[in-house]
Structure formats: structure tokens, C-alpha cells
Amino acid sequence: MARTHLFKNASVLAGPELKYVRDADIAVSNDTFEYVGPAGVYHGRNPRRDAGDVDADAAPATHDCTGLLVIPGLVNCHTHIGDSVGKDARLEGTVDEKIHPVFGLKSRILSETPPDVLVDFMANSCASMVRGGTTTFVDFREGGVGGVALLRRALSRVPIRCVIMGRTNHYSGEDDIRRNAPLSASGEGELGDVVRSCDGLGVSGANENSDAVLGRYSKCGTLRAIHASETEESVSRSGQMTGVSETVRALGLRPHFLVHMTHASKKDLEAVAGSPDVRGIVVCPRANATLAEGMPDIAYLRSLSNRRLALGTDNVMVNTPDMFREMDYTWKAAMGMGRAQVDPVEILRMATVNAGMILGRKIGQVAPGMLADCVFLDKHAIDLEPVHNPHAAVVHRASASSIRAVMIGGRMVHGSLD
Ligand SMILES: [Zn+2]
């Protein structure tokens, strides 16, 4: 975007509190929000012209946003889109039989499918996310640097932000974990390349890595995350193998965030609170439910954890990468399980503001200085109108069909305002 664009007369969920501003203007300069606030205040300051750029356009391009509700681009904090080719390939059986990183059906499907086909279906999932208002997703990519290369091919076809969390192909067996074997020579050889080719390390879990390996990974100066306490089985396996809780072992990675924590105990959450690197917990309620492995209790996690919560949709094999559906389900499940009111603004924050903070990126908020990622929803869409509570409307009524346009980094990537 070569010039400043001014989006006038919009309603917006602004800033870190997602405060509803009914009549707002939004100025975008290059890839960043420059002004978000009451209508009629911003009068087309042009920083490029101010800086002496004589080629800069004098006046901002204006777009009338009457009737639109602007929300931050949704952030899907946990996906594995690599298995997009395996949709519902197996519904019966245990979690491990389906998606175990080494022994599950998923890994067999991935190894038996031609790479070009994997890339095609990954690109489809990216396109689906953009159409559904997701502007950033955090993909936990298996398969070392080769796996990352496939994901990058898919990303080259679809304009969406991706935080790539890669991993080595190292696997610690039960014996390795018991005797605390170090990272294999091949894993050590891969590690540098994986870190360089990705935005972070996304480790499968403490049950597939010895303490020594987790400790080795913890020294990588990159974003670090790990699956923890996803199933009752994984929790009890850690106890049997090591006498230590799975979550406590996972903290050996010094992760910036943990994924799932569906079966985390009070003690686990206390350990998380004492771990200074941890910024937050990413829960995946629909994926957990689909796998019949219980549900993360949002009210419980919020009451016991002093860390931020965010949302992910997990494996495409078992769940759709649709953040509207994830928010809807999460809100209702939280109230159903807790028999308590949960403010929808908290759920929307999990899908936007909290995610940006956990990732340490300038995303997840419509606010000056943030990357201009947002979704323009039609307030008059048949499922939304009349909008009495904008946060509730977004969380449990909006869908891809309510979207007029999606902007990423100041560029319209889906739909149009004209
Ligand atoms: Zn996962």
C-alpha cells in the first residue's frame, strides 16, 4: 500500500481491551495502523510526506465503512496443517492411533502421500483460514527442514502470516527417557538448520523427549513451545516412566507457551506460574473433544493460571481450522462446564490480543503501531443483525459468510469494501 488509507465511519473493537467504538476512523500507513479512534479527528497526516518524501500522495485514500464492524485479524495459535490431506481418515481408536507423531495413522498418511499433494491441501487450509478471518496461524510442522520447505511452498500461494514452529526428527524412546539420553547426533545436526529455517521450535511433547534433549532445545534462542497434558494417557505415561508430571517435564524446554494443558493439575499450573519464560497456554477445545479426550476447562485455567490463554484448532485431520467455530464452541463449553458466565470478550481476546502477546508480535489488536491485520464484518449480515452485543455477535454468530473483507499488513487479501 503506497499511500495512507483512511477507513471512515466504521465500528471497531479497538486496542487491547477490544473496546467497542461505534463511530471510528482507522488510518493505515504501509503495513501498520496509524490511527484508530473517534471519527473526524484524523485529518490525513502523511508520515512519508512529513518525512520529505515528495513522491508521497498528498491525501489519504478513503473508504466508507458505514455498517461494518472491524475486528482484529484472528490468530490461530496452534495448527498442524500438514495433515490437511487426512481429513477424518479415522474417527475410531485412540489419540495415539490417530495422530501420534511417530506411530499414528497420521504419520503413515504423510509419508505415503506425494509431497505435491500435501502442499496442495496445505494451501487449501491456508485459503480456508483467510476466508474465515484468520490472518496469522502458528503451525507446528513435523518433518524437520523438509517439512518446513513443504509448508513454505503452500504459503507462497496464499497471503497469510504463518509463525512456523519446526522440530527435528529426533525421537527419545522410553529407554532414552529413563536413562536421560542426550540428543542424537542426527538431531544435533538438524537442530541448527531447523532453528534457522523457522520462527521457533514446536516440540511434540515430554513423552517423546528426554530431559537432556528438552534442556538442549531450551538453549535455542528462539520461540519455544510444547504440547503438554493433552490426554489422561499422556499424563499417566509420564508418571509411569519418570515419576514426574508431564507438564513439569515439559517445562524443561523453558517454553514460551504450552499447548493443551487439558489434564493439567493444580500443581502443574503452579509449576507453570513459577516458570518465568511461559507467556501463556494455548487450548484446543474442539480438537480435544473430537478426540474424546476431555475438554480444557477455561474457567479453571483462568482461575489457577496467571498466564494468558489463547486458542488453536490443532490437526486439520481431526478439526477444521476455523476460528469462528472455535470461539463459539469454547464460549459455550466454558459456560456449560462451569455453569458460570464467561464474558465473550475474554474468548475473543484469546483469539486475538492474547495470541499476539504470547507470540511477541505486533498482531492481534486494531491499535496504532500494530500491523494492519483486521477483518471487516458486515453488521447487517443476516446472522448478526441487530447487533446488541458486538463481542457476543463475533464469538457465537459470525462466520465466514459475515465477512466483507480481510486485510493483512494493510493489503486486502480477501473480499472488497467497494
Ligand atoms: Zn498439536
5-14 and 19-29 strand pairing: antiparallel
Residue 89 binned pLDDT confidence (cut-offs 50, 70, 90): confident
What does the pLDDT read at residue 304?
81
Query: 134 C-alpha vs ligand 1 centroid, how far in Å?
Result: 18
Of the chain, the percentage scoring pLDDT greater than 90 comes to 82
In DSSP notation, 127-186 reads HHHHHTTEEEEEEE--SHHHHHHHHHHHHTTS--EEEEEE--S----HHHHHTTPPPPHH
DSSP 54: T
Kindly give the distance from the C-alpha atom of residue 259 to the centroid of ligand 1, in angstroms, as a whole number.
Answer: 7
* Residues 373-406 pLDDT 10s: 999 999 999 999 999 999 999 999 999 999 999 9
Q: How far, in Å, is the centroid of ligand 1 from the Cα of 403?
A: 28
* CATH 3.20.20.140, applies to 74-359: yes
d(CA 289, ligand 1 centre) in Å: 14
For residue 60, the model assigns a pLDDT of 85
Question: Any idea which of 24-28, 68-72, 305-309, 357-361 has the lowest mean pLDDT?
Answer: 305-309
Compute the distance from residue 78 Cα to the ligand 1 centre, in Å: 6
Measured in Å, residue 214 CA sits from the centre of ligand 1 at 17
* Per-residue model confidence as pLDDT tens digits over 257-307: 999 999 999 999 999 999 999 999 999 999 999 998 899 988 888 888 889
- Pick the closest to residue 112 from 92, 88, 83 (CA basis): 83
Q: State residue 210's pLDDT score.
A: 97
CA dihedral in degrees (260, 263, 266, 271; nearest 10)? -50
Going from the Cα of 283 to the center of ligand 1, the distance in angstroms, rounded, reads: 10
**Distance between Cα 260 and ligand 1 center (Å):** 8
Please compute the mean of the pLDDT values over residues 35-50 and round it to a whole number: 78
Q: 98 CA to middle of ligand 1, Å?
A: 12
Q: What is the pLDDT of residues 112-145, one digit of tens each?
A: 999 999 999 999 999 999 999 999 999 999 989 9
The rounded Å distance from CA 384 to ligand 1 centre is 32
Q: What is the pLDDT of residues 148-190, one digit of tens each?
A: 999 999 999 999 999 999 999 999 999 999 999 999 999 999 9
Give the per-residue pLDDT at 401.
Answer: 97
Compute, in angstroms, the gap from residue 288 CA to the centroid of ligand 1.
10
Interval between CA 245 and ligand 1 midpoint (Å): 19
* Span from the CA of 99 to the centroid of ligand 1 (angstroms): 9
pLDDT at 54 over 70: no
Cα(111) to ligand 1 centroid in Å equals 18
Q: Quick one: average pLDDT of 89-113?
A: 83
d(CA 316, ligand 1 centre) in Å: 10
Domain with CATH 2.30.40.10 in the chain: 5-72+365-415
Q: Quick one: pLDDT band at residue 103, thresholds 50, 70, 90?
A: confident
pLDDT at 341: 85
Q: How far away, in angstroms, is 42 Cα from ligand 1 center?
A: 44
Q: Residue 53 has what pLDDT?
A: 66
> Could you name the CATH architecture of 5-72+365-415?
Roll (2.30)
Residue 102 has pLDDT above 80, yes or no: no
Residues 321 and 313: their CA atoms lie apart, in Å, by 5
pLDDT at 3 over 80: no
The alpha carbon of 257 and the centre of ligand 1 are apart by a number of angstroms equal to: 12
Give residue 104's pLDDT band: very low, low, confident or very high (50, 70, 90).
Answer: confident
pTM, 2 dp: 0.95
Ligand 1 centre to CA of 81 (Å) is 10
Q: List residues, by chain if needed, whose CB lies under 5 Å from ion ligand 1.
A: 314
**Average pLDDT value for residue range 406-412:** 97
Dist. CA 3 → ligand 1 center (Å): 40
Per-residue pLDDT band at 95 (split at 50, 70, 90): confident
Packing angle of the helix pair 115-131, 144-155 (nearest 10 deg): 50
Q: If you measure from the C-alpha of residue 101 to the centroid of ligand 1, how many angstroms do you get, rounded to a whole number?
A: 9
Q: Give the chain's mean pLDDT.
A: 93
Q: Detail the DSSP E strand segments found in 41-95.
A: 61-64, 68-72, 74-80
> Quick check: 1 pLDDT over 50?
no
Q: What is the pLDDT of residues 318-341, one digit of tens each?
A: 999 999 999 999 999 999 887 788
Considering only CA atoms, which of 194, 196, 129, 193 is closest in space to residue 161?
129
385 CA distance to ligand 1 middle (Å): 36
Q: How far is the CA of 173 from the centre of ligand 1 (A)?
A: 19
Ligand 1 center from residue 200 Cα (angstroms): 15
25-29, long-range: CB < 8 A, 24+ apart: 26/65, 26/70, 26/366, 26/374, 27/60, 28/1, 28/4, 28/372, 28/407, 28/410, 29/1, 29/4, 29/5, 29/410
